[in-house]
Amino acid sequence: MISEINQTPKALRIHIGVFGDTNAGKSTFINAITGQNIALTSPVAGTTTDPVFKPMELLPLGPVVFIDTAGLDDKSELGEVRIKKSMEQLEHCDAAVLVINGNCKDAESQKKYAELIKAKKIPFIAVINQIDGKRNETDFSNVCPEVISADLADKEQIGKIKEAVIDMLKDRIEDPVLTADLVKPGDIVMLTAPQDIQAPKGRLILPEVQVLRDLLDNGCMVMTVTSENIKSALESLKTPPALVVTDSQIFAEVNKIIPPQIPLTSFSLLMAKIKGDIKGLVNGASAIDSLEDGDKVLILESCAHHALDDDIARIKIPRLLRKYTGKELTIDNVSGQNVSLEISQYKLAIHCGGCMVNRKAMLSKQKMFEEAGVPLTNFGVCIAYMNKMLDRVCY
């Protein structure tokens, strides 16, 4: 993950400048939000002298870079030069945070800083910290769109600051694309769609249709085959496919046929990518390895449907879970949008692909489980995990 963060070119990151007086707590703010002790802090005014760039991954925003700056009231010999440098940073910031020292007596100067930032027409928030437990009671709401008071030394209060930072940049949150980041126009893509007992009569299921449409929109040539034709379809192609998308239920079989150099994914992984926070679902799957005898697992489906013989939620996933873990598990199934039962009793929750729910609903469900401390994964991700395929697949 760290190497991935460092690979994102700085120019592509959202730049968030952190401004304020010397000793206001700017560097402390950066340490608090990144959760790392990366910026030098001290009670001595003028600790940060030059702009310092601190990259981080701020989900769901993505890669951002915080810019720590020298104080705007620097009265030292070099103060003027430092202030100029800090102000220059403001020119290329996508957003700003004005850190106001809770002990600050000069509210007017803070309002001036707020006006300077406002003039740049970028989103910004003010963070009033609580040095020595004291807080400034000045009302900055007429000059700052959002004012947060928090003790930056208290980890529990950092969540609300992060949320405010994400919220001010919510227009920059781009919806993930289904396939455009995996293929290019002219690519041949193979879809494998097993027409088993669960396949609806006379048509393809929604994720298959959506992926097919998206690939066509991206200028790809798409070939759709059932499982028994994968091998011969592959042999019939002059050039290997740029991507193979499979139904997750036949993941293992398909992986045996598709050579490792051909990128492989599943409909459910692609849907999970656009429907929710796939990284969270992938992390959730690792909880499978911690399951113990007697643990309870919840399997959720967004829509109620008549269970068929080899139903994925009631039969296939429970069977795979018990086989993989070798543990005596209690597995409950629920269907429908609203979960009314006590979720904290579960050690793991597994959601369906959510083809009938939107991204917002899925993200809020992920948040609900996160807050309850219950790891949440989904069908496709957990099947890939138990088939030890998450390292093999792309999404």
The footprint of ligand GTP (CB under 6 A) covers 20, 22-28, 41-43, 45-48, 70-71, 129-131, 151-153
At closest approach, how far in Å is the CB of 17 from Mg ion?
13
Nearer to ligand GTP, 41 or 192 (CB): 41
Q: Which does 130 bind (CB under 5 to 8 A by kind): Mg ion, ligand GTP, none?
A: ligand GTP
Say whether residue 27 binds Mg ion (CB under 5 A). Answer: yes
Nearer to ligand GTP, 97 or 220 (CB): 97
Q: Which does 43 bind (CB under 5 to 8 A by kind): ligand GTP, Mg ion, none?
A: ligand GTP
Say whether residue 47 binds Mg ion (CB under 5 A). Answer: yes
Nearer to ligand GTP, 23 or 34 (CB): 23
At closest approach, how far in Å is the CB of 2 from ligand GTP?
24
Nearer to ligand GTP, 98 or 282 (CB): 98
Q: Which does 148 bind (CB under 5 to 8 A by kind): Mg ion, ligand GTP, none?
A: none
Contact 25, 134 (CB under 8 A): no
At closest approach, how far in Å is the CB of 86 from Mg ion?
11
Instruction: Return the range that interacts with Mg ion (CB under 5 A); candidates 18-26, 139-147, 172-180, 257-265.
Output: 18-26
Task: Name the strands in the sheet holding 188-192, side by side, starting at the edge strand that comes first in the sequence.
Answer: 221-225, 188-192, 243-246, 264-266
At closest approach, how far in Å is the CB of 68 from ligand GTP?
7
Q: Which does 111 bind (CB under 5 to 8 A by kind): ligand GTP, Mg ion, none?
A: none
**Number of amino acids touching Mg ion (CB under 5 A):** 4
Q: Which does 46 bind (CB under 5 to 8 A by kind): Mg ion, ligand GTP, none?
A: ligand GTP
Interface residue list for Mg ion (CB under 5 A)? 26-27, 47-48
